[in-house]
Structure 1
Amino acid sequence: MPITEQQLLQILPDARPVAGIFLPALNRAMARWKIDSRLRQAAFLAQVGHESGQLRNLVENLNYSVEALLTKFSRDRINDVDAKAYGRVSGRPATQQAIANCVYGGAWGAKSLGNTSPGDGWRYRGRGLIQLTGRANYTAAGAGLALPLEENPELLEQPEHAAMSAAWWWAKHGLNELADAGRFQDIGSIINTGKPGRVPHGAAERKALYDRALKVLA
């Protein structure tokens, strides 16, 4: 069942400037990937709403402070020297490209994300409504959607592809079935950490959006 613009804005009120653009893209994406029940749509809209800042941010923000880099990422992904050199401090913004190439590159990036070439961390940073990240994910999504995402990763900054890639990833990782089972926190954990059973970043906001979506879509 397609959602209406009124329903979308009741769930994601901060999306007002872009709701009219995203509504048809979201409905097409949800229909194609069988996100077609109240539970599935509520879970999907809540999770992508959180990941994208309510549909307003289609490219990952890596403007981390030095302290955040050292807290969020392990030392095999960014060392103390690089964190202090690239992280945001008073009077100096973060060097986002260098951060991306550190935390998504190296041995960890090659193993976990398929980032095997210099600059892949930045080139394949998070994009779209679910923040697809890494060369391997871009390649797989490109094959699944018949889009040249490996060659043109910026395509995920377009609303149609941003929504479709999120729904593709959702279905590919079995999240419809988890939504059916009411395992909402596990959905967020898989999106945010790669595994179920953990507390995802922004868990409280994800749950608040989900609860709101369930009421709106009732």
Structure 2
Amino acid sequence: MFDARPLQGRLAARGYSLAIDGSAGPKTLAALLAFIGRQQLTPLIAQLGAAAAQHLPSAEIITPLRVAHALAQWAVETGGFAKLEENLNYSATRLRAVWPSRFPTPLDASLFAHKPEHLAEKVYGGRGGNAKPGDGWLYRGRGPTMLTFHDNYADAQRLTGVAVLASPDLVATPDVGMLVACAYWRQRNINAVADCDDLTAVRVKVNGGKIGLEQAQAYLRRAKLVLLP
């Protein structure tokens, strides 16, 4: 990893209690996650910081720019590192905003509002390897990338050796979630576009489209305040 002393100094100046020792370890990365996500140093963020310190090097996310891009993307997916499981308890209005083509009218949306399992089958069922009834809910979004779909869980299992197909809730734990996120990042060679500082290309590789691009831009600006001032 990079020499973290400048980062630690900038975080310390913002009120985080850190040793200025140059190590991008669990406490430094937890403080960085909290700063980027505008969160308190919660137990979840502390655990994510420890997991990041362990797993980021496996995906060669080891430069300030790569770290900034990775954490900005994961901040979008997790609501600023506040959750590791997708919340599918949407209002009808929110459903129409997120999936306008699937819920073109208020009546369409009202049938699935505040019905998470029913909604998961509607939006995730019958694709991405979700072939059985209940697969949409079983393989809903989890982890820093909000991993969805049977095929993506199968891919994560192949890459990590963790039995996430049989136990998908493991992806919602900080350690396995971060391991899976790093494997996902490495497999898709996202470092190549992160090195070019191409946020749009990074977002497309992570998300499959540009949804959340404005949020990613805001989180990336915040990450660069302390990683690349």
* TM-score higher than 0.5: yes
**Runs of 4+ with >4 A deviation:** 77-82
Is 1:140 matched with 2:155?
yes
Is 1:10 matched with 2:35?
yes
CA distance in 2: counterparts of 1:96 and 1:8, whole angstroms: 28
CA distance in 2: counterparts of 1:51 and 1:22, whole angstroms: 14
Match of 1:216 among 206, 219, 226: 226
> Which ranges of structure 2 fall in alignment gaps of 5 or more residues?
2-23
Cα 1:23–1:86 change in 2 (3 A) is same
**Amino acid in the other structure paired with 1:56:** A
| Counterparts of residues 52-131 of structure 1 (less than 5 Å) | 52-73=78-99, 83-87=109-113, 94-106=114-126, 109=127, 113-131=128-146
Counting aligned pairs with the same residue, the percent is 31
Q: Give the TM-score normalised by the residue count of structure 1.
A: 0.84
Counterpart residue number, 1:205: 215
> Which ranges of structure 1 fall in alignment gaps of 5 or more residues?
88-93
Is 1:153 matched with 2:163?
no
Q: With CA pairs under 8 Å and 6+ residues apart, which has the higher RCO, 1 or 2?
A: 1
Q: How many residues align?
A: 201
Q: Give the TM-score normalised by the residue count of structure 2.
A: 0.80
Asked whether the 8 Å contact 1:101–1:121 carries over to 2, the reply is yes
CA distance in 2: counterparts of 1:47 and 1:60, whole angstroms: 15
Asked whether the 8 Å contact 1:66–1:86 carries over to 2, the reply is yes
Deviates more, 1:206-215 or 1:161-170: 206-215
Shift of 1:71: 4.2
CA distance in 2: counterparts of 1:130 and 1:30, whole angstroms: 14
Is 1:173 matched with 2:198?
no
CA distance in 2: counterparts of 1:79 and 1:204, whole angstroms: 24
Shift of 1:65: 2.1
Cα 1:118–1:16 change in 2 (3 A) is same
Q: Secondary structure at the match of 2:84?
A: coil
CA distance in 2: counterparts of 1:216 and 1:72, whole angstroms: 32
Shift of 1:139: 0.6
Shift of 1:213: 1.2
